[in-house]
Amino acid sequence: MRPKKRSLILNGHNTSVSLEDLFWTELKNIAKEQELSINQLVAKIDESRNFEVSGLATELREFVLKHHINKN
């Protein structure tokens, strides 16, 4: 599947990220588990990333993968 462009609001600013359905669905599930909105979760992830090393979409995919690895 090709990534789809998703609209978000990060720190009061509109932005978008291209992400596959599977990762987007899992991000929404994780946000629900943590009692956060998807915008709040993505903002939290965005704040902790190294902007020189990876883009937001890559960081979101890695977050989902690490979350599932740590659950098991």
> Whole-model pTM above 0.85?
yes
Q: Which CATH architecture has domain 4-71?
A: Orthogonal Bundle (1.10)
Mean pLDDT of 67-72: 86
pLDDT at 51: 76
pLDDT 10s digits, 13-58: 999 999 999 999 999 999 999 999 999 999 999 998 877 788 999 9
pLDDT at 1: 75
Sequential DSSP letters for 1-63: ---EEEEEEETTEEEEEEE-HHHHHHHHHHHHHTT--HHHHHHHHHHHS-TTT--HHHHHHHH
Closest of 35, 27, 36, 21 to residue 60, by C-alpha: 27
